Amino acid sequence: MGFGDLKSASGIKVLNDFLSERSYIEGYVPSQADVAVFESISAPPTADLCHALRWYNHIKSYNNQKSSLPGVKKPLGQYGPAGVADTTSGGGDDDDDDIDLFGSDDEEDAETARLKEERLAEYAARKSKKPTLIAKSSILLDVKPWDDETDMSKLEECVRTIQMDGLVWGQSKLVPVGYGIKKLQIGCVVEDDKVGTDLLEEHILAFEDFVQSMDVAAFNKI
């Protein structure tokens, strides 16, 4: 297992393909697996690698919370698709101590993370037994490109790579705004306590090679 050399374009391409079908390196929430891979990358992925860039920007937002993310970091060779070896410079077992976020407190912090996971699981189990009303909203977004030469198909593809719990993308269309420029108008349904317009804007504007701005065209409670 591995991604090849994550400090090279070919390694980031393997990572991009791997993330095309998942939101995180392991599981359904950010974890130490994401931290290990993130810290092995020397520069942000390019805009044409939408899946890797979306993941990179998302994990980067946890910069001040990395040590509290669940799980324990493992060598890079234990992550990624089967049949691809890890060749990242400085990677592997010997590098684990170099990128350790915890220093000498690794075992203690790992135990703390495990206990936190257990408490969260217990809380979720108790909460799941209670019927809850999920508040949702229908949002229509206007995503504007830089100019008339922007590849709008690629722009929409990048936007739809944004995946998170409580977000479902809907229909879209291109709307003329003048001077040959068209904006992407795309709808989505969100769970209010999980996804907000500020979070959507942060992720969409991260595709800065394609997107100039984002506005909320319509917002309706469901």
The strands making up 211-221's β-sheet, listed across from edge to edge, are: 167-178, 181-191, 136-145, 211-221
Higher pLDDT, 94 or 211: 211
Mean pLDDT, range 199-206, rounded to an integer: 95
Mean pLDDT, range 63-78, rounded to an integer: 87
- pTM, 2 dp: 0.52
Mean pLDDT, range 164-183, rounded to an integer: 95
Alpha-carbon span 209 to 55, nearest angstrom: 16
The winner for highest mean pLDDT among 77-86, 97-106, 144-153 is 144-153
pLDDT score, position 95: 44
Out of 100-104, 114-118, 196-200, least confident range? 100-104
The structure tokens listed for 195 are: 């996804």
When the candidates are 3.40.50.410, 3.40.50.150, 1.25.40.10, 3.30.70.60, the CATH number that belongs to 136-221 is: 3.30.70.60
Burial of 165 (C-beta count, 10 Å sphere; 0-12/13-18/19+): exposed
pLDDT tens-digit profile of 73-99? Answer: 888 888 888 888 888 775 444 444 444
Domain extents for the chain? 9-78, 136-221
